[in-house]
Amino acid sequence: MASRAQQEGKYYYIEWCPASDCMDEFGVVNGRIPDGLYYVESGDVKLSHPTLTGTVTIVADGGIIEVNGRNAHLAPYSSDHLLLFSNKQTGTPPLCNKDVIRCRGKDATWEGIIYGLGGRVWVEGTGRHAVSLVGNTVYFRGKRAEFRPLDTDGNDPCQVFDILSVADGSTTTSQVMLCDGAVHIASWRIR
């Protein structure tokens, strides 16, 4: 992924993001983030604009990612659908009430994979979200929000989704298949 972005001139290495925000480091103009892969070596990534848009993949090495925008629309730059990735660790074991990724926006749209296994992934808003959320804990909230499967470009007649939920000391795992608009539960297990 990084080599392709470098060849296309769309790989952005950011050594450090200031505590206030990363808008200048990301080259944001009028809410538009230039398309590409962003690797942030140090510091938390904070991006906020009412109409934040871009086709991006953002990797925070040890930092928290926070994205805010009332009408934001972010889609993945990478061909593997990765949108946001943070490897920040909130503790050992990871703390379920400490965010590593937070996305907020009243009518926002988030697309792609949002990965933050070292803590909580928080997505909030009323928009349409074609995302896969991976975190130690996942929090999803929004009135009239729509959570739908990732678009795989029609290459798969059926899409398979693994769902993991941890609450009150029990773990629920399930596998759901989406075939031609119909949802099928392939497996369900509570431990």
Same domain as 180, residue 96: no
Same domain as 116, residue 24: yes
Q: How confident is the model at residue 3 (pLDDT cuts 50, 70, 90)?
A: confident
Nearest CA-CA partner of 1 in 59, 52, 51: 59
Same domain as 185, residue 145: no
What is the mean predicted confidence (pLDDT) over 6-13? Answer: 95
Q: Give the span between the Cα atoms of 126 and 57, in whole angstroms.
A: 22
Which structural domain range is residue 99 located in?
A: 2-149
Report the number of distinct structural domains present in the chain: 2
Same domain as 131, residue 51: yes
- Structure confidence by residue, pLDDT tens digits, 52-105: 999 999 999 999 999 999 999 999 998 888 999 999 998 887 777 899 999 999
Last residue of a domain, one of 149, 168, 183: 149
Mean predicted lDDT score pLDDT of the chain: 84
Q: Give the span between the Cα atoms of 60 and 80, in whole angstroms.
A: 17
pLDDT for residue 153: 58
> Cβ of 166: how many Cβ atoms within 10 Å?
14
pLDDT for residue 139: 86
Record the pTM: 0.78
- Structure confidence by residue, pLDDT tens digits, 143-183: 766 666 566 555 556 677 777 766 667 777 777 766 665 66
Same domain as 104, residue 180: no
Q: Give the span between the Cα atoms of 191 and 182, in whole angstroms.
A: 27
Same domain as 144, residue 172: no
Same domain as 173, residue 133: no
Same domain as 178, residue 144: no
Same domain as 134, residue 168: no
> Cβ of 116: how many Cβ atoms within 10 Å?
28
Same domain as 187, residue 137: no
Same domain as 65, residue 43: yes
Cβ pair 50, 25 in contact under 8 A: no
Same domain as 35, residue 116: yes
- Per-residue HEC secondary structure of 13-32 comes to EEEECCCCCCCCCCCCECCE
pLDDT for residue 48: 95
Report the amino acid identity of residue 138.
V
Residue that wins the pLDDT comparison between 76 and 128 = 76
* The pairing of beta strand 170-179 with beta strand 182-190: antiparallel
